[in-house]
Amino acid sequence: MNIGIIGLGYVGLTTAAVLAELNHHVICVDNDSGKIGRLRQGIVPIYEPGLEECITRHCQDGRLLFSDRMEDGFGGCQVIFITVGTPPLDNGSPDLSALSAVIIELANRIRSFTLIVIKSTVPPGTCEWVAKTLLDIGVDPTQYDVASNPEFLREGTALHDMLHPDRIVIGVRTERAASLLREVYTGIDTIYTVTSLSASEMIKYASNAFLAAKISFVNELSRVCDALGVDVAEVSAGMSQDVRIGPHFLQAGLGYGGSCFPKDVGALYHAAVSRGVAMPILRAVKEINDTQVDWCIDKLSESFGDFEEHRQVAVWGATFKPDTDDIRESRAVLLMKKLTESGYQVHAYDPLVKPEVPHVWWFNDMYDALVHCDALIIATEWSLFQDVDWSEVTKRMKGNLLFDGRNFIDRKKAEEAGLRYLGVGRP
């Protein structure tokens, strides 16, 4: 099938690669001509394991084409996925201006029946609005349909998640749209959840908000575990074995970041309160996340036991999670900012990025970052931090405090090397 994709961020690029993998011919459009130029040379603008190889392979076999503008008729594409960004506005609601601009331009390019699939995360009612906008512009309603097909991939495992999804959610108005989307995904072994347009849009927000709630719940639990001298990691592990609870998203830490959870929690909250619906659980989810870094800094400061100005600490990890170069809403970066504001001197290391954070000194080597430091804080759970030589860490540091902000270090090994281990909600 010939398929179009408009908007080449994480979701757009991964969708393009996976659809090419499924033997479709994919025309990818983005209005950033610099990005298109680089993609044509095989340079992928984001770090995502396996993505560059996959895109390069399918550029060479002609399954992927990149363009900075929509052509008339859009290359005979029967299905066009829209994967443009919907970043948050100041009030928390999503900015739909990119989507709106694409729909208006697309309206003038439709020459034969086209299924327009909204993959961007959008509030319930947006797909209906797209269908109505096309009608208002004068597009023949027999020549198009609109569907919702939210994406559930995680950064760092994007290709795997899209090729092996738990389910594919499709919101449709017609059987024709549903069967076209099933045809698109032929080759992927999963179940389909077929719903109305707005239920499909809501499933995406509800899923992300629920996962964020699990994280905030376990982070809140970490605070009471800390007060009661209970290890939250043991508690999570015990809860996980109940199939009704499950093992995922119960890892206490510095809180959730990234381009999705903070944005989607905010958007759902805004959608509710702007219609007079209070969402106290969601408000608390956000509140706990907003204060978790401060809570961790308080724990760190308390554990020094005495007051000394200009303490030096090393922070390992800057991205919002491992295996990505994405620092959007990163708790690690927030931690660095708040540490410097609290008077700490911060040395930092990350295997992929060195974001500009005022007063933070970046190092190319993780051990070099430790020199003169009173404490080491693990802020992102990159697997290389698990395999470190802890005796070398102890040798390089001035102090011996290890704050595991992600509860993922082998505590015994670190303690055997002489480090004083402090976790999130771990006595």
Per CB under 6 A, residues contacting ligand UGA are: 121, 151-155, 208, 211, 215, 249-251, 253, 256-258, 260-261, 320-321
Beta strand 144-148 with 375-378 is unpaired
Q: What is the DSSP letter of 314?
A: E
CA dihedral 260, 204, 166, 234 (to 10 degrees): 60
**Nearest distance in Å: CB 14, ligand UGA:** 10
**Nearest distance in Å: CB 39, ligand UGA:** 21
CA dihedral 352, 292, 10, 208 (to 10 degrees): 150
Q: What is the DSSP letter of 229?
A: T
**Nearest distance in Å: CB 344, ligand UGA:** 22
**Nearest distance in Å: CB 102, ligand UGA:** 19
The residue among 256 and 382 lying less far from ligand UGA, judged by its C-beta, is 256
CA distances from 234 to 16, 119, 224, 248, 256 (A): 41, 38, 14, 14, 20
Query: Could you tell me if 51 and 13 are in contact, meaning their C-beta atoms sit under 8 angstroms apart?
Result: yes
Q: Which residue has tokens 């996976």?
A: 18
**Nearest distance in Å: CB 2, ligand UGA:** 26
Q: Which residue has tokens 């992300």?
A: 208
The residue among 221 and 370 lying less far from ligand UGA, judged by its C-beta, is 221
**Nearest distance in Å: CB 12, ligand UGA:** 12
Rounded CA gap, 139 and 361, in Å? 56
Return the structure tokens found at 114.
Answer: 């086209």
Collapsing DSSP to helix, strand or coil, 108 comes out as coil
Give 336-390 as a 3 state SS string: HHHHHHCCCEEEEECCCCCCCCCCEEECCCCCHHHCCCCEEEECCCCHHHCCCCH
**Nearest distance in Å: CB 74, ligand UGA:** 25
Element (H, E) at 100: helix 97-107
Q: Which of 54, 59, 260, 373 is catalytic?
A: 260
332-347 b/e (C-beta count within 10 Å ≥ 16 → b) = bbbbbebbbeeebbbb
Query: Could you tell me if 201 and 125 are in contact, meaning their C-beta atoms sit under 8 angstroms apart?
Result: yes
Determine the residue type at 102.
V
Active site (annotated) includes residue 59: no
**Nearest distance in Å: CB 121, ligand UGA:** 6
The residue among 145 and 381 lying less far from ligand UGA, judged by its C-beta, is 381
Nearest to 204 by CA among 269, 132, 268, 282: 268
**Nearest distance in Å: CB 182, ligand UGA:** 21
Q: Which residue has tokens 């698990």?
A: 386
CA distances from 336 to 293, 374, 394 (A): 10, 15, 22
Cβ neighbour number for residue 331 with a 10 Å cutoff:
25
The residue among 154 and 173 lying less far from ligand UGA, judged by its C-beta, is 154
Nearest to 268 by CA among 201, 218, 353: 201
Residues belonging to the active site = 260
